[in-house]
Amino acid sequence: MSRGSQITGTSATGSSTDLVGRIGATPVETVPFEHLYLEHVFPPDEYQRLLDHLPQTPRYRELTHREAVQPDGTSARRKFYLLPEHIMWLPGGQRAYWRRQSRVLRSRELQEAFKSKFRAALEQRFGCSIDKLSFYPVPMLLRDLGGYRIGIHGDGLRKAITVQFYLPRDQSQSHMGTVFHEGRNGEAALRTKRLGFVPAAGIDHVMICPPSLEHGIETYTRIGFNIHPGGATRTKGMHNAIAFLEDDYLELASTSDREAYLAASPRGGLADFLARGGGFRYVIVQSDDLVADVRAMRERGVEVSDPTDGSRRTPGGQTLYWKLAVLGPDNPLPLLFIEHVTSLAERRAQAPGAGQHPNRALRIDRVYIVVSDIAAAVQQYRRVLGMPAPSVQRGAVIKADMAVFDLGPTGLTIAQPAEPGRAEEALRRRGPGPFQVLYRTGSMDAAARWITDHGMPPPVRGIRNNGEQAILVGPEHACGAFIGFVGPA
């Protein structure tokens, strides 16, 4: 695609409010043209439901264009219009499901969100105010069969905005996403940006471990998180607190009874970590099929445990269930892998005020792990995650060479200090490991105001590589972790 405005994501969403919020919080990227890239739009359980309700191929019509025609004269691209007059012919379960999704995709709120986000580009293209422009949505499902191909092309002039949601079942076709070109020919055609064709996946949550859970709750409340006790976990002697965001969350974990914990966990991992002062301990990666992901890791030569059952009983008496896999000693990375058995909606329901935070935090934007050798670390993470090795760039704020693995909407950043700064301080103070979480907020001013109004020093400000401003709370005020915020003023 060579020109126009585009919004791309990994799945559709369950309500127009959800998607409108994501569109509003995601900055427009301008190279090679205006576009958004949304990931992890859909919780894993809902995403699986969407895949389960996709119509069978015979219900799609052929979409004919020159490059899609096969030797037998049929088209390798099929379409199914998500309009009431087409949906009515689907079987009962699919019919009810796609009627709901169609209402979301055709909603006025969604149209207005798109128009507002791409206002400048649309007004420039059509030469008039956005208020005088009227569009209508044509939602459809597309299915590409073997043999489909399409060259560099621009969208039809009748299209104002192209919206695509990728719906793969796994990571095996991540290389097949849309490629943006700056032009059709010459050097411009060689300048590209590829969007990964990946399923709903990403960082589930981060775990920060303060020596005292009560102190941790007090501290993160002052930073502006609506955080509450989560209850007792299956591991004896442990308790936690949870702050839910849109889909991910912040977990504070500590020991409630050190002796009971050591009796149940003779290796004493958390107790030893807390004895060294605590801090940012784990990045927990979400899976929608942990058995398959463990199998794939082992096929790549990664030592990883079988999935084990976990549970937590909330203060309200509800038991939440999950499965967890941990890396073996040959891969001592600060990553855990989780598949939730209890749905996101049920988990959010047990957290008072889930998603509503005084600092206006929406989701994790990026996590940072400091290492002493970035080249070796990138190869370790590449093999564990099953992703291509990202390029290395200099991080302006953390003053480090960094490589960013894109996990859903969140960047997992591996950083090697290049000069004195936050990464260097973290490596010197704690050694290799996670040290910083950056949250996307709906208002930087609201976050900074809450923090200073609640007895903390004014957050440090900096400029990221992409030109965004960031504010940061230091580890001495955040239980050993750097906590930052990015977003609109």
Select, from the ranges 131-140, 179-188, 335-344, 446-455, the one with the highest average predicted confidence (pLDDT).
Answer: 446-455
Cβ contact 484:468 at 8 Å = no
| Sign of the alpha-carbon dihedral angle for 172, 175, 178, 184 | negative
CATH of the domain at 210: 3.10.180.10
d(CA 216, CA 250): 12
Task: Tally DSSP H helices, then E strands, for the chain.
Answer: 15, 24
Q: pLDDT band at residue 10, thresholds of 50, 70 and 90?
A: very low
Domain termination residue (choose one: 161, 194, 227): 194
Domain termination residue (choose one: 165, 194, 223): 194
Predicted confidence (pLDDT) at residue 88 exceeds the cutoff of 90: yes
**DSSP helix/strand/coil, 435:** strand
Tell me the percentage of the chain whose pLDDT exceeds 70: 87
Model pLDDT, residue 202: 81
d(CA 431, CA 191): 39
**223 and 186 belong to one structural domain:** no
Q: What's the domain range around 10? A: 5-194
Predicted confidence (pLDDT) at residue 489 exceeds the cutoff of 80: no
**187 and 217 belong to one structural domain:** no
Q: Which of 425, 445, 454 lies closest to 485, judged by CA?
A: 445
**278 and 405 belong to one structural domain:** yes
Model pLDDT, residue 244: 93
Least confident of 50-54, 233-237, 243-247, 395-399: 233-237
Predicted confidence (pLDDT) at residue 12 exceeds the cutoff of 50: no
- pLDDT tens string 177-219: 667 666 667 665 555 555 554 444 589 999 999 999 999 999 9
d(CA 256, CA 232): 9
**166 and 272 belong to one structural domain:** no
**272 and 350 belong to one structural domain:** yes
Q: pLDDT band at residue 378, thresholds of 50, 70 and 90?
A: very high
Predicted confidence (pLDDT) at residue 248 exceeds the cutoff of 60: yes
**174 and 241 belong to one structural domain:** no
Least confident of 49-58, 257-266, 326-335, 480-489: 257-266
Domain count, the chain: 2
Domain termination residue (choose one: 134, 160, 194): 194
**180 and 238 belong to one structural domain:** no
Which distant-in-sequence residues (6+ apart) come within 8 Å of 465 by Cβ?
393, 394, 395, 396, 397
Model pLDDT, residue 264: 77
Q: What is the mean pLDDT of residues 92-99?
A: 93
**53 and 179 belong to one structural domain:** yes
**225 and 324 belong to one structural domain:** yes
Residues in the chain: 489
Q: How far is CA 75 from the centre of its chain?
A: 34
Task: Specify the pTM.
Answer: 0.66
**209 and 190 belong to one structural domain:** no
H helices of 361-403, where?
374-385
**268 and 234 belong to one structural domain:** yes
Q: What is the mean pLDDT of residues 427-447?
A: 94
Cβ contact 378:403 at 8 Å = yes
DSSP state of 148: -
Residue 182 zone, left/alpha/beta (φ > 0; ψ -120 to 50; rest):
alpha
Least confident of 121-125, 163-167, 220-224: 163-167
d(CA 399, CA 418): 6
**Tokens 């999950």 sit on residue:** 322
Cβ contact 384:327 at 8 Å = yes
- pLDDT tens string 323-343: 999 999 888 899 999 999 998
Determine how many CB atoms are found less than 10 A away from the CB of residue 271: 17
Predicted confidence (pLDDT) at residue 421 exceeds the cutoff of 50: yes
* Cross-strand partners of 441: 361
Q: pLDDT band at residue 170, thresholds of 50, 70 and 90?
A: low
**30 and 110 belong to one structural domain:** yes
Average pLDDT, the chain: 85
Predicted confidence (pLDDT) at residue 3 exceeds the cutoff of 60: no
